[in-house]
Amino acid sequence: MEESLYSEFSKFPRRRRRCCRRGMQLALVGLMIAALWAGLLTLLLLWHWDTVRNLKQLEEAAALNVSQVSKDLERHKGDQMAQKSQAAQMLQDMARIQAEQKRMVSQESELFRNLDGLRADLSNLKSYSLNERHRALHSLGRLQEEVEKLWLELHESNGSVCNTCPEEWVHFQRKCYYFGETAKKWIQAKYACSSLQGRLVSIHSQEEQDFLTKHAHIRGSWIGLRDLDIEGEFIWMDEKPLDYSNWQPGEPNDAGQGEHCVMMQASGQWNDAFCGSYLDWVCERLATC
């Protein structure tokens, strides 16, 4: 029994030492944990401060950015307003330009109408002047012819003989006749007689017709009778009335391509024919004393 008590007392210090070791270990662990927590808290505090500093920097940067964006936005709004104002001004200018263009187009149309009117008036004036000149020259020609006739009568009354004709012209009753043998159109024959100071012959009596028939060409000759102005209204070149006629039976008939000029056939009878046909021609002019 004593041995057992001794063994028990001998075991007690070991347990105490073991408990002390465990307590020291626990204390060390606690200190380590406290140190870790302190380090962790320190790290957390440092992270918090760093985060707060970064947030402040971000806030300041954001505030600067917001301020800059606000300024840019205000400037952009100002630019937009200026652009809108410019656009409105441009629209007004375009509207004014379009109105001016319309006015100019209207003025141009009016000017063209006035110009056309002036051209028409000028053309009418030219036509009137030419007609008046033609009438004046015609009246002058008729007056000269009447004067020449009176001159012939005066000379004949004084005993003069007025039967002188140019070379190749044939005299008959105070007039000279030229029988052209080069085939021409009616208008060409008219100008040919004018160049010879005569005109296409006008026939006013049977005696004159008989004289012309004696000298008539076989293929027919143009005479100075036509209805170019009014269909069926025939006019002599000397503008005297149609007081004598020698139409072939059935003529004038205005057949074919439109027959407005008159020819004298070899028989002496008349026939209306196409003015573009090529025929001989007969001119007349007053004889001289």
**Both structure tokens of 92:** 């007004």
pLDDT bucket at 76, cuts 50 / 70 / 90:
confident
Closest CA to 166 of 20, 45, 287, 36: 287
pLDDT in tens, 56-71: 888 888 788 788 878 8
CATH architecture, domain defined by 165-286? Roll (3.10)
Tokens, residue 181? 């043998």
Strands 279-286 and 221-226, bridge-based pairing: parallel
Q: Which residue has the higher pLDDT, 142 or 205?
A: 205
Of 44 and 281, which is predicted with more confidence? 281
Distance (Å, rounded) from C-alpha 119 to C-alpha 54?
Answer: 92
Domain ranges of the chain: 165-286
- Three-state secondary structure call for residue 157: helix
Of 3-17, 158-172, 200-214, minimum mean pLDDT range:
3-17
> What is residue 55's predicted lDDT score, i.e. its pLDDT?
82
pLDDT score for 62:
78
Question: What per-residue confidence (pLDDT) applies to 4?
Answer: 53
Q: What is the pLDDT of residues 41-52, one digit of tens each?
A: 888 888 888 888
pLDDT tens, residue by residue, 99-152: 988 888 888 888 888 888 888 887 787 766 666 665 665 555 565 566 565 655
Percent with pLDDT over 90 in the chain = 30
Whole-angstrom Cα Rg for the chain: 67
The distance from CA 183 to its chain's CA centroid, rounded to whole angstroms, is: 47
- What pLDDT does residue 145 have? 61
Least confident of 94-108, 128-142, 187-201, 212-226: 128-142
| pLDDT for residue 272 is more than 50 | yes
162 or 283, which is more confident: 283
Between residues 1 and 245, the one the model is more confident about: 245
Instruction: Answer with the residue of higher pLDDT: 212 or 258.
Output: 212
Residue 2's pLDDT band, with cuts at 50, 70 and 90, is very low
201 within 8 A of 282, measured Cβ to Cβ: yes
pTM of the model: 0.52
Quick check: 285 and 169 in contact, CB under 8 A? yes
The region of weakest confidence among 20-34, 164-178, 204-218 is 20-34
